[in-house]
Structure 1
């Protein structure tokens, strides 16, 4: 895989308040350049949700209402997030979720495409018993020594997902081959279906 041929791409991860639909409490966006996560230009934001964080969500990511009380509201940081994401490709694990939540919070945002490392892993490693992020970390053992924060925080999960993406991408020769496998149907960047032949 020639990583220099990749378009602009950011690995994203979001954490929510546990409601449905969720309010965002954390967003991370980590560029991947030349096959490496570029933490020097990454973006990470904490935000106070409109509705309280549920006890269940707080237990998972550790972001309590008290911790977020002094953070800016979403409207204060939405422009910064939108500017960094711009029209780049994004990648996430189980990308439907992150794409849906980000799209709800950034209605004018239109990424060039969406890669899903969950979908990619199922094709790349068809015999694994599980495909959760923890299972892939255990299987591939990426170097996470430079990962910020800890598991279930957006910055850590984006860094881990970026390392998994790069490792799996080495199984494909070209960007187009990667896209054909990793973009879920119906999401931006999905290869157009072949036209059915007609009589005319």
Structure 2
């Protein structure tokens, strides 16, 4: 895999307040540049949601309403998030979730393409015991000692998904082969089918 051939790519993760549909409480982006994690350019935003965080959501990501009380509302950070994402491919584990939530919060945003490490892991490691992020971290012995925060926080999960993407990408010879395995149907970046041959 020639990582130099990759377009601009951000691994993203979001956390919500547990409402339906969810309001964002945390967004993290981590660029991948030439096959490495560009942690110096990583970004993360904490957001005070308009609806309080449910107890279940707090148990998952450990963010409480008290933690978020002094954080800005989404309207104050939306332009910064949009500017960071602008023009980039995104990658996430079970990426349709991140894509849907971000699109709902940023109606004018559309990524260049979407890679899903869940879909990619199923295609690349069909014999793995499970394909959730925890199971793959353990199965592949991913080194997360440099990840900030903890599991189920957006920066940590973005870091884990980035390491997972790089490990799985090594099994695919080209960017085109990777996208064929990793882009969910119906999401941006689905490879165009080859045109049938003609006589002229």
TM-score category by the smaller chain? over 0.9
Paired position in structure 1 for 2:14: 14
Q: Once the two structures are superposed, what CA deviation does each residue of 1:70-129 show, in whole Å capped at 9, x if it has no partner? A: 000000000000000001000000001000000000001111000000000001001123
Paired position in structure 2 for 1:192: 192
Paired position in structure 2 for 1:23: 23
Paired position in structure 2 for 1:47: 47
Q: Report the 3-state secondary structure (helix = DSSP H, G, I; strand = E; otherwise coil) of the residue aligned with 2:168.
A: helix
Q: Once the two structures are superposed, what CA deviation does each residue of 1:55-79 show, in whole Å capped at 9, x if it has no partner? A: 0000010110010000000000000
Q: Report the 3-state secondary structure (helix = DSSP H, G, I; strand = E; otherwise coil) of the residue aligned with 2:12.
A: strand
Q: How does 1:50-199 map to 2 (within 5 A)?
A: 50-193=50-193
Distance 1:185 1:118 in 2: 13
What's the TM-score once normalised by structure 1's chain length? 0.96
Distance 1:145 1:56 in 2: 27
Q: Report the 3-state secondary structure (helix = DSSP H, G, I; strand = E; otherwise coil) of the residue aligned with 1:168.
A: helix
Q: Report the 3-state secondary structure (helix = DSSP H, G, I; strand = E; otherwise coil) of the residue aligned with 1:187.
A: coil
1:192 to partner: Cα distance: 2.5
Q: Report the 3-state secondary structure (helix = DSSP H, G, I; strand = E; otherwise coil) of the residue aligned with 2:27.
A: strand
Q: How many pairs are equivalent? A: 198
Where does the alignment leave 5 or more consecutive residues of structure 1 unmatched?
none
Where does the alignment leave 5 or more consecutive residues of structure 2 unmatched?
none
What's the TM-score once normalised by structure 2's chain length? 0.96
RMSD: 1.4
Q: Report the 3-state secondary structure (helix = DSSP H, G, I; strand = E; otherwise coil) of the residue aligned with 1:108.
A: coil
Distance 1:40 1:104 in 2: 28
